[in-house]
Structure 1
């Protein structure tokens, strides 16, 4: 389902279902990140829902938090990620991606850094509300498995049944040595919890 105009990057609170038919090849990305073949196939068959809660820090209201839990159908254990948009390094560990460190922040598209091809991919296809406003940038490193992940969150128009619909999208670049995977993750709006 298209994201309603009332849902903005400043408040993504709600439920988002990854639309596999509109998203890119996630299997290759997960393989590069060292996720086992069996688990990748199970995830490929499952529905992945992210339950996001976005809020301001109680002690410093200039800092935004985005907490999300992923639920995966088929009995696959989900993950929880807590993002603080202050660009400070924080450790994270889960069964799917292992031990890593990451940082997140608000960013203007013009301020993105990175390799030319990666930067071009991260910058492409955004609606003016994203391209001209602030977006969420997230960067992670997994030293044990030797990969990095860079993603930008915002809104894009995606073609669905021959018409354009506004969707929440994450442009993602994962690198391991000379190997690189670039994927667009498209999410359907599933509403807010009562």
Structure 2
């Protein structure tokens, strides 16, 4: 389902299901470079599409970046619920690194922020991360995320940069994430994740509580 015009980077709240047909990011290659075993990669590949539930919160009386945050909860078929956490991951858009622990590759560092069109033009990332966005996305600002492995904790030395926003694909407005992944040997992988949109409602919150499988690693890649 296409995302309605009223859903923008100013409020991403909703349910998003990854569209494997429209997405072109080579996930298996990325997971391999992150040190994920062949068995786990195949289990993830054979499972259904990851589903994300986003709750975008901004304090109305604050212009401070710390007043804006996104709660992220990801359900991934094929991943054991024993690896889930008790609540959604909350990410402040303040560009301050936060240490996280993941069941697949251990400790990582992650940060989020909103980026204006002018700032986006100056980012030291591949041009594919800057192109294709709708006018409202550029006007409101894209969301930039960056996750890296923690070498001090035995990580393999990779970085995952993503730009979030909306673009028109096959005539439909879609929520997408443009990805630039750099592996431990300097391997560069680029692509995008494309999502089907589902509006938030009471069923959404109910499903979130009883069916979710929160998996921080997949948040790093799919989210």
Structure 1 and Structure 2 fold alike (TM over 0.5):
yes
Answer yes or no: is the 8 Å Cα contact 2:129–2:178 preserved in 1: yes
Distance 2:139 2:61 in 1: 29
Q: Distance in 1 between matches of 2:90 and 2:36?
A: 21
Per the TM alignment, residue 97 of structure 1 is displaced from its structure 2 partner at its CA by 4.0
- List alignment gaps of at least 5 residues for structure 1: none
Supply the distance in 2 between the matched residues of 1:68 and 1:103 (Cα, whole angstroms).
Answer: 13
Corresponding residue of 1:87 = 95
> Alignment partner of 1:29: what SS?
helix
Partner of 2:30: 29
1:157 aligns with 2:189: no
Q: Specify which of 168, 174, 190 is matched with residue 175 of structure 2.
A: 168
Cα 1:186–1:69 shift into 2, 3 Å = same
Answer whether contact 2:126 2:180 (CA < 8 A) is retained.
no
In the alignment, structure 1 residue 52 sits paired with structure 2 residue 63: no
Give the match for residue 3 of structure 2.
Answer: 3
Matched, 1:138 2:140: no
Match of 1:96 in 2: 104
What is the TM-score when the length of structure 1 is the normalising length?
A: 0.87
- What RMSD over aligned residues (CA atoms) do the two structures have, in Å? 2.0
Partner in structure 2 of residue 184 of structure 1: 192
CA contact (8 A) 1:26 1:183 kept: no
Deviation at 1:66, TM superposition (A): 0.6
Partners of 2:30 and 2:165 in 1: how far apart?
20
Aligned residues: 187
**Which structure: greater helix fraction?**
2
C-alpha distance in structure 2 between counterparts of 1:132 and 1:7, whole Å: 14
Q: Which runs of 5+ in 2 are unaligned?
A: 203-223
Show the counterpart of 1:18: 18
Shift of 1:121: 1.7
Whether the 8 Å CA contact 1:104–1:137 is kept in 2: the answer is: yes
* SS across alignment from 1:87: coil
- So what's the TM-score if we normalise by structure 2? 0.77
